[in-house]
Chains A and B, each alone.
Chain A
Amino acid sequence: MVKFGIEFVPKEAYWKTVYYAVQSEKRGFDNLWITDHYNNRNVYVTLAATAIYTKKIIFGPGVTNPYLVNPVMTAQSLASLDEMAPGRVVLGMGAGDKTTLASTGIEAKKQLSAVVDAITIFKAMLDGKSVTYEGKVFQVKGTKFNFKPRGQIPVYIGAQGPKMLATAGKIGDGVLINASHPKDIDYAVGQIKMGVNEAGKNLADIDVTAYTSFSVHKKPEKATKAASPVVAFIVAGSPNVILERHGIDLDKANEIRGALKKGDFGGAFGSVSPDMIEAFSIAGTPDVCIQKITRLLKAGITQFVVGSPIGPNARKSIDLISEQVIPHFKE
């Protein structure tokens, strides 16, 4: 049965994010992902508070990156969280956003190697033994915790490109695919399968997760209006090859890029077209969302993540998803 996850960006005071986390647990979500960006509230502070106020939802950073947070510290944070919420913690690890990292003075070099190194170190540290590892990007020498971690924690890899997707299939327990359209999921599953085969595993061993931009409301125009800002940023950040895959007019995409660069958010959001909404979000009434989630399930996902913006009013949209969307797949 498909799992439902939800993503929150900790951009507001911790108690608001935790309010939504508790609401999500009460309303039947299985997984909770908190994004990790230096310019928002700290992900581990938010997750620790979440651990205190929830009792069954599975949660973790979705996703952190090894450049800004050293993998040893990520292992320490997750092992500590696993003591607070035994068996409910997962790791989401990705390469990070190059532009955001650049603003902190970090050059995100050798992204694939960095993620592989980080996960190798993470897993070894959770074994509780002394770790020595010579990776291409990260090295540790005789590194050991002064406490015994509870054990291994499932690792999800945030992936979009073909190599990262295959690597996720090879070494991950799950893959977080930043996509909302079956074309992108189809492509991703194909790449994941290659990694899975190489490792001698089965695709069923991997939690194939669609990390979507989602917006639901009983009035479709309200749902799409709420999705437009997120879609504008996705379009601006997408390589042309992905835009072309969805038949997006590159001139229009450039208009959005230009408007965002100038800080003309109204112009950028207003230039988002229905085909962009269709390609890069799941937005609409509960029935429309059900149809679109069904298409992703057919493409091979095992977890569906409701990502930003969730809807025009997050609290009401979470209730709507719980009442009208999740039951369609779980009852």
Chain B
Amino acid sequence: MDYPKIVKMIPVEKRGAISEKLLNYVLKSKKEKKLTSGMAQCFLLQWQTSTFDNEVGLAVLLETAAVLELEKTTEFLEQECQLAEVAKALKETIA
């Protein structure tokens, strides 16, 4: 499944809070080398032109967070957001 489709599985009312949390994971991650230059550029371009709490932005952020901090991201989605299906789809996509 691609990331925009995973975002569609997330209820609109939860997207803002998820975006906040994932941004913290991404910006505090020490696994920076995992991010390819293309992904870093995609992340910055999205931030330059828009935000991370809309559908397109959250898809970019979700992918970035999954690459950098998969465990934290899926745990957060499962346990705090009660979105086990989203977490599962994310794991399958990144595998």
| CB contact under 8 A between A16 and B32, given known A22-B44, A22-B48 | yes
- Docked pose: A19 CA to B52 CA in angstroms: 12
Residues of A within 8 Å of B45, CB to CB, are: 53
- Docked pose: A49 CA to B45 CA in angstroms: 11
Output the least CB separation between B95 and chain A (Å). Answer: 25
Q: When the two chains form the complex, which single residue of A15, A54, A315 contacts B35, counting CB atoms closer than 8 Å?
A: A15
Contact size range, A: 10 to 19
Contact size range, B: 10 to 19
Complex contact A53–B32 (CB within 8 A): no
- Docked pose: A16 CA to B24 CA in angstroms: 11
Complex contact B23–A53 (CB within 8 A): no
- Whether B40 sits at the interface, judged by CB under 8 Å, is yes
| CB contact under 8 A between A315 and B27, given known A13-B32, A19-B47 | yes
Residues of B within 8 Å of A53, CB to CB, are: 44-45, 47-48
- Docked pose: A163 CA to B61 CA in angstroms: 50
Complex contact A22–B47 (CB within 8 A): yes
Output the least CB separation between A272 and chain B (Å). Answer: 24
Contact with A along B18-45 (1 / 0, CB 8 A): 0000011001000010010000110111
- Docked pose: A18 CA to B41 CA in angstroms: 10
Complex contact B40–A315 (CB within 8 A): no
Residues of A within 8 Å of B41, CB to CB, are: 15
Q: A15 — nearest CB in chain B belongs to which residue?
A: B40
Q: Which of A15, A54, A313 has the most CB of B within 10 A?
A: A15
Complex contact B24–A18 (CB within 8 A): no
Q: A54 — nearest CB in chain B belongs to which residue?
A: B48
Output the least CB separation between B66 and chain A (Å). Answer: 16
Residues of A within 8 Å of B48, CB to CB, are: 22, 53-54
Residues of B within 8 Å of A22, CB to CB, are: 44, 47-48
Residues of B within 8 Å of A49, CB to CB, are: 44
| CB contact under 8 A between A12 and B32, given known A19-B47, A22-B48, A53-B48 | yes
Q: A25 — nearest CB in chain B belongs to which residue?
A: B48
Residues of B within 8 Å of A23, CB to CB, are: 47
Complex contact B27–A18 (CB within 8 A): no
- Docked pose: A22 CA to B41 CA in angstroms: 13
Residues of B within 8 Å of A18, CB to CB, are: 44
- Docked pose: A17 CA to B14 CA in angstroms: 27
Show 28 residue pairs from A and B whose CB-CB distance is below 8 angstroms, ordered by the A residue.
A13-B32, A13-B40, A14-B40, A15-B35, A15-B40, A15-B41, A15-B43, A15-B44, A16-B27, A16-B32, A18-B44, A19-B27, A19-B43, A19-B44, A19-B47, A22-B44, A22-B48, A23-B47, A49-B44, A53-B44, A53-B45, A53-B47, A53-B48, A54-B48, A313-B24, A315-B23, A315-B24, A315-B27
Closest 8 CB pairs of A and B: A13-B32, A15-B40, A53-B48, A53-B44, A22-B47, A22-B48, A18-B44, A15-B44
Besides A54-B48, A313-B24, 6 other CB < 8 A contacts? Answer: A13-B40, A14-B40, A15-B35, A22-B48, A53-B45, A314-B27
